[in-house]
Amino acid sequence: LTFLGIESSCDDTAAAVVRHGPAGAEVLASVVAGQVALHAPFGGVVPEIAARAHAEKLDGCVEEALAQSGLGLGDLDGIAVTAGPGLIGGVMSGVMCARGIAAGAGLPLVGVNHLAGHALTPRLTDGLAFPYLMLLVSGGHCQFLIARGPESFQRLGGTIDDAPGEAFDKTAKLLGLPQPGGPVVEAEAKNGNPKAFPFPRPLLDRPGCDMSFSGLKTALLRARDAEVAAHGGLYRQTRADMCASFQQAVADVLAEKTRRALKTYLEDAPAEPALAVAGGVAANQTIRAKLESVCAEMGVRFTAPPLKLCTDNAAMIAYAGIERFRAGTATAADLVPRPRWPLDATAPTMLGSGK
């Protein structure tokens, strides 16, 4: 099966072509057009500007993806489009574009949940078998999900306040470092002592997989102010120590909560136990190493999809569309654009980024 995927739910316009054959899935083309420059003057994503930019860029992205794949519309078996959750104007632009192409080419159209796209990515990149455990850690998300099927996800817990990426970004800001904070704080931490500051490990004393990262930021703010009061400023080494101590606290919390989530996941005795981490924070070497060692300790395979398939893209949408199409569960109702669409209806999945 070969699907065209279309994504426009936030500030990236994207189109991709994915083929699913007997040997597995393959990304034939993936085009992402960002809008960073358009929104930069406003200090955040402006929904009206995003919707207009999506409407303008979608056709070009689709044409480019098809050209890159070397295929024409006639070679496709279907089209998948993000129908939510996200900024409604952008989602509508994408769904209208997809409807037009599907009707014109006489192709089936499948509406896809953007979060399901992220959650199914490890199947596209690493061929993971259901059920696998997914840890989503980015600037806007932090949650554990057991993926049991193309549309069966169980949320085990997540952050009750900030996402870790957000905490890295705020830490950088507090210490006078540039954005995005993650890579900069990680670089500083390389020269610092992770034991220098006894930052809290929030919620470790409580059962379950919920996490909290906003208290860490408050602790860091206090430590910084104490240093500035005592020395009239921050020593370079102190700043590195703060970064290292902060990063260690995040890594410790994620590792311990991952251990607990894995315990719950392993209760079902999966045949091929695996953990997939996705999101920008998964790029952090210290965090990654800790998670890998937890997996090794528990006999679970560790995977992390490449970053460009972890951030917003249309390959994951095309792939999720193929899975849904193969499962035969796609309905016309999936194509109704919606701003909110939790993966697991029993729990909120929208934290930080409004998803």
In the complex, the smallest distance separating the C-beta of residue 138 from ligand ATP, rounded to whole angstroms, is: 3
User: Does 312 appear as a known binding residue?
Assistant: yes
Touching ligand ATP, residues 3-22 (CB under 6 A): none
Q: Which stretch binds ligand ATP (CB under 6 A): 78-86, 97-105, 137-145, 200-208?
A: 137-145
Q: Binding to ligand ATP by residue 159, rule CB under 6 A?
A: no
Q: Binding to ligand ATP by residue 183, rule CB under 6 A?
A: yes
Q: Give the C-alpha separation, 335 to 253, whole Å.
A: 38
Question: Please, which residue, 162 or 312, has the CB nearer to Fe ion?
Answer: 312
Q: Give the C-alpha separation, 55 to 89, whole Å.
A: 9
Choose, by CB under 6 A, the member of 9, 121, 245, 311 that binds ligand ATP.
Answer: 311
Q: Which stretch binds ligand ATP (CB under 6 A): 13-21, 64-72, 181-189, 193-201?
A: 181-189
In the complex, the smallest distance separating the C-beta of residue 257 from ligand ATP, rounded to whole angstroms, is: 16
Q: Binding to ligand ATP by residue 108, rule CB under 6 A?
A: no
Closest CA to 309 of 269, 334, 276, 287: 276
Decide the pairing of beta strands 142-149 and 132-137.
Answer: antiparallel
For the chain, counts of helices (H) and of strands (E): 11, 10
User: Does 139 appear as a known binding residue?
Assistant: yes
- What Rg value do the Cα atoms of the chain yield, rounded? 21
Q: Of ligand ATP, Fe ion, none, which one sits near residue 264, judging by CB under 5 to 8 A according to partner kind? A: none
Q: Give the C-alpha separation, 297 to 310, whole Å.
A: 25
CB neighbour class for 280 (10 Å; exposed up to 12, middle 13-18, buried from 19)? buried
Q: Give the C-alpha separation, 315 to 27, whole Å.
A: 7
Q: Binding to ligand ATP by residue 165, rule CB under 6 A?
A: yes
Q: Give the C-alpha separation, 121 to 309, whole Å.
A: 7
Q: Give the C-alpha separation, 233 to 45, whole Å.
A: 34
Give helix 114-126 / helix 315-327 axis angle, nearest 10°: 90
Q: Binding to ligand ATP by residue 139, rule CB under 6 A?
A: yes
User: Does 137 appear as a known binding residue?
Assistant: yes
Q: Of ligand ATP, Fe ion, none, which one sits near residue 188, judging by CB under 5 to 8 A according to partner kind? A: none
Q: Binding to Fe ion by residue 12, rule CB under 5 A?
A: no
Q: Where does this chain bind Fe ion (CB under 5 A)?
A: 312
List residues binding ligand ATP (CB under 6 A): 138-141, 165-166, 168-169, 180-183, 186, 279-281, 283-284, 310-311, 353
Annotated binding site for substrate: 136-140, 169, 182, 186, 284
